[in-house]
Amino acid sequence: MRFGLGFLLSLSTLTLIVSCAGEPPQGPVDSQRQSILERVDKAPVIHYFTTSADGEHSVLWRAALDAASSATETVARSRLQLVPHAAGYAPRGAISRSGRMAWLNLPPDRRHGDSAQLWLGGEIVDERALYLQTPMFLGEDLYYLRRSPGPARVGPDGKLLQTLDDFELVRLAPSGAERIVHTESALWFHFVGQSPAAASRLLVLRVRDDGTDLLEFAREGKLIATHFLGTGSVRDVRVNPAQQDRVTYLRSSGGPAGAEVRELALAGHPSTTSGWRQAKVLRANLHGYASPLPLRSGALLLAEGDPFSEPFFAVPLDEVSAGVVLWREDRQNQLTYVLRGPGDRVRRLAPPGDAAQDVSLLRAGL
């Protein structure tokens, strides 16, 4: 159960960066990226939830990454809040530059498939949010998704098909004003992110019966380009922080070594098929659980071990600061979340013996 939830969380650890109407014009891309890196590295603080062994409540923590660690090499952390929720459904959250925190919570009386509560500033601001997508901040604007189940579909053979749901991408301003940026019908729809190299483009993944598309939207919601990423399994789609006009993703055609890490340059690929055909293969002959994570240095991390045949399996989740990566490790069915940094330094997010080892990181807004 824990492994399955942790694996699901890793699919949704995606960063949203999008320009907002009414904001001052962005500066040059290089200086913008440098200011982001300097801000993160000078204030290495993270916020995260740990979940109880019974899965029914989570604790929100704040950890200073440059503070002295304990003898057990656990980050120095302080407890902020206790959140009860449905068993097995930890809150998913984000934090803005000013420290405003938001999270999605599935209350104890709700179950899988039900709408979630969106909490912002200690208050419930929406009861219809999609739990399976982490909210995101850009500045002080908050972005999240709603989903409404669509009608049943029947194929030519009379068999039921998977339902196409209706999705709404919602932006919530600091004033509380709500704007629906885009609506879409799909099997699945979720944030990928946005490259500062195209400061007005929002990247969203759309999954349909005929394959997976990466959509580029202008900030007002106009669809600019569609990139076909392939049929079958397409996952771990991420903006490459070293080359921010590109995305990497894992595409699997099945089999024990049928997965590839591909890189797509967004510029010059406006059609629905050319993006797939012109994507560059970075790594081939991989297992479907490879979980690629591109780093600011240009390196590409992959999962370590084998979840089916080895006692150790580790997945890279996010680069929380330059060279410091959050990993989920499973050692002989013992789940831990650790930060691996320069010089092979490893720090845990929960101390040994603490039953609350499951972690959900609050994504930092830009």
261-278 per-position pLDDT tens digit: 999 988 754 444 444 447
Question: Which range (34-38, 170-174, 209-213, 247-251) has the least confidence?
Answer: 34-38
Q: Please write the tens of the pLDDT for every residue from 118-177.
A: 999 889 999 999 998 888 887 788 889 999 888 888 888 888 888 889 999 998 999 999
Match 């982001």 to its residue by tokens.
36
Residue 354 CB contacts under 8 Å (≥ 6 apart), including other chains: 50
**Which pLDDT belongs to residue 202?**
74
Query: CA 227 to CA 270: how far, in whole Å?
Result: 7
- Quick one: which H or E segment has residue 285? strand 280-286
**Which pLDDT belongs to residue 159?**
87
Match 């101390």 to its residue by tokens.
351
**Which pLDDT belongs to residue 62?**
94
- pLDDT, average across residues 208-231: 85
What's domain 2-364's architecture?
A: 6 Propeller (2.120)
Question: Which range (37-41, 186-190, 269-273) has the least confidence?
Answer: 37-41
CB count, 10 Å around CB of 160? 9
Grade residue 195 by pLDDT with cuts at 50, 70 and 90: low
Encoded amino acid at 119, one letter: W
Q: Domain spans of the chain?
A: 2-364
CA geometry: angle 200, 203, 204, nearest 5 deg = 140
**pLDDT mean across residues, the chain:** 82
CB count, 10 Å around CB of 272? 14
- In the three-class reduction of DSSP (H, G, I as helix; E, B as strand; rest coil), residue 30 is classed as helix
Q: Please write the tens of the pLDDT for every residue from 319-348.
A: 998 889 999 999 988 899 999 988 778 899
Going from the C-alpha of 298 to that of each of 11, 141, 239, 241, 363, the distances in angstroms are 21, 30, 12, 8, 21
- pLDDT, average across residues 28-41: 40
